Amino acid sequence: MNKHLEVLNNLDLDKITAEEIGEDHIGTAELTPLRENAFEKTDDEKIEIIQEHFAQIMHTLGLDLEDDSLKGTPYRVAKMYVKEIFEGLNPKNKPLARQFNNNYDYNGMVIEKDIQVTSFCEHHFLPFIGKAHVAYISSGKKVIGLSKINRIVDYYSRRPQVQERLTLQIADELQEALETEDVAVYIDSKHFCVSTRGIKDTSSSTITSEFRGAFKNENTQRKFIDFIATKTDLS
């Protein structure tokens, strides 16, 4: 077990400090940590509160909020947080994965590759950007529109995240939407909290994967990896 997870398991969660957790990118649960009353405020109320606080942050940094270039920044940031980059926190924005009967009885592997991932590390609120590759094998009963797979990836990406958790959440949602155990998720991304601060390593990337059902078979995994490595030429 990761040493920091051991620390978390042995500490009162209400008393954990940033120093005790350290710099490692860990998640304390598969579910995004949300308060029970997370959705009591409307989006407009959240924007107003965030706007006030972000203005205070800018003021503390010494910036002149009377400058024409900066005066609208607190509102723009607040709106961006609530309506754009963190809109995946709100269940009302969850995409509806409508099912269709698999009338053509296709039971092979379906792969959606090179899905854009743009998310934000929950430890520093800096972006991590990359690609997700997703596959499933139909149970023989239901399929969903291909664009819904992209929307599922985008929905869970649009919240403060840990890449490991994001990978698991996408896999869980696909299993539920497709009514099959046979799903695979593979994410390769670059983390700005690694490239722009701390070690400032601009060359490394992070890969996470989750294989379930038939994809636990080594040959099936290899077939999936070979497919996503294949270049698609649309010229």
Read off the pLDDT band of 235 (50, 70, 90). low
Q: Please give the average per-residue pLDDT across 201-218, as a whole number.
A: 97
Find the mean pLDDT for residues 107-128: 96
Summarised one tens digit per residue, pLDDT across range 136-187 is 998 877 788 889 999 999 999 999 999 999 999 999 999 999 889 999 999 9
Domains 3-93 and 99-229 share a fold: no
The domain ranges of the chain are 3-93, 99-229
Contact 215, 110 (CB under 8 A): no
As a whole number, mean pLDDT of residues 50-57 equals: 98
Which of these is catalytic: 51, 163, 173, 210?
A: 163
Known active-site residue 56? no
Q: Are 109 and 227 in contact (CB under 8 A)?
A: yes
Question: What is the predicted pLDDT for the residue at 224?
Answer: 97
The topology (CATH level 3) of 99-229 is: GTP Cyclohydrolase I, domain 2 (3.30.1130)
Is residue 122 part of the annotated active site? The answer reads yes
CA dihedral 45, 50, 52, 55 (to 10 degrees): -150
Residue 92 has pLDDT above 80, yes or no: yes
Superfamily of domain 3-93 in CATH is GTP cyclohydrolase I, N-terminal domain (1.10.286.10)
Asked about 193 being catalytic, the answer comes back as: yes
Average pLDDT over residues 34-51: 96
Q: Rounded mean pLDDT of the chain?
A: 88
The pTM for the full model equals: 0.86
Using DSSP's 3-state secondary structure scheme, residue 215 falls into helix
DSSP letter at 28 equals S
- Residue where the block lists tokens 């819904």: 148
Tell me which of 51, 112, 123, 169 is the catalytic residue: 123
The answer to whether residues 77 and 50 touch, using CB atoms and an 8 Å cutoff, is yes
- How many C-beta neighbours within 10 Å does residue 82 have? 23
